Chain A
Amino acid sequence: MIFPPEVFEQILFELPLPDLMHAAQVSRLFNRITQWHLVNEQYIKRWMLSFQENFGETRYIPLDLEETRKQLSEGNGFYVFDAKIQPISWVNEILHIDVVHLNLRVLTFGLRFLDHGDVKEDELSGRITLCSDGS
């Protein structure tokens, strides 16, 4: 029994990125569908970056669809994530100088890529904090 390509499209759509990449190696059809999904807004809009400021709270940055669409249409193949963070001024930060050790405060950021398979369901149900609201 041979399924029409639309069925495979739907199946592959449900796969998180690592599995999708593996599926692309199965056949030429799967590879074509994969390439299509990688520029398909419905697929890539599930992607996020986790963003940790100074080893503190982890927040999640959604994909900037508008900017990504622009990058993809120009053939650059880039995905863009925008995050609003708390405004930072070094006049404020300098108050945190550790006088004893003379350690200047350094802001440390960590970024991780998350597909929908990487985010737990309970996090998706509302416990995550998106950065796009500027908070």
Chain B
Amino acid sequence: MFGWELMCLATSQQTTRSRGSSPDMFACDGRCGQMIGFKILPWTTTPAARWRMSPTHDGTLLWKIELLPNDNSEQLKKREGAWNRPRYFDTVRVTVSLEAIKNEYVLREAVRRAREKHPGSLCVCEYLVFPVEHQQEFWASESGYLTN
């Protein structure tokens, strides 16, 4: 599948997406079937939010991740020098819908089946078989590399 190959190729590349978009995810890191994977890039500013809309219900949130700055971040900024302007955060808030939770179980079952079918493969991401809407709207879109 071209899409998965593209995702694998992209694992060594940096991406400029930092906020307000679906997170990046590596497909071949051996952690298929994971509910949400995301990376925080050095230029991410807080508070930041990343989210994914529901593939089945228009205008409905599927999940959202918020990075919240800690209370004493202003003090810490002063301590390290104002010009550095470090961005501190210490809270990750995850809001999930029941649909997102169900999707994870669908993915998990797909991973289990793929591992049974391909016991010798360390990474079974490319063998995952699940409903098309999950592949296109939930899983693949998380990569940030595929567009539908």
A residues in contact (CB < 8 Å) with B: 17-18, 21, 38, 49, 51, 55, 61, 64, 67, 71, 77-94, 104-113, 134
Contacts and interface: CB of A to CB of B under 8 A. Distances in A.
A89 B80 CA distance: 10
Contacts of A79: 95-98, 101
Contacts of A110: 31, 34, 36-37
Contacts, number: 107
Contacts of A82: 91-94
B34 A111 contact: yes
Contact of B86 (A83, A86, A90): A90
Nearest to B77: A89
A38 B97 CA distance: 11
Nearest to A105: B42
B91 to A, nearest CB: 6
Contacts of A64: 93
A58 B50 CA distance: 21
Interface string B67-82: 0001000001000100
A88 B8 CA distance: 28
The binding surface of chain B is classed by DSSP as mixed
Given A79-B97, A84-B90, A106-B14, 9 more contacts: A38-B98, A77-B97, A80-B94, A90-B86, A91-B86, A106-B42, A108-B38, A108-B39, A113-B96
Given A91-B80, A112-B104, A80 B95 contact: yes
Interface residues of B, number: 36
A107 B100 CA distance: 23
A96 B89 CA distance: 18
Contact of A86 (B38, B90, B94, B104): B90
Q: Which of A51, A84, A88 has the most CB of B within 10 A?
A: A88
Contact of A89 (B88, B94, B97, B105): B88
B106 to A, nearest CB: 10
A71 to B, nearest CB: 7
A61 B87 CA distance: 23
Nearest to A80: B95
Nearest to A53: B92
A88 B90 contact: yes
A90 B96 CA distance: 27
B96 A107 contact: no
A111 B97 CA distance: 14
Contacts of B14: 104, 106
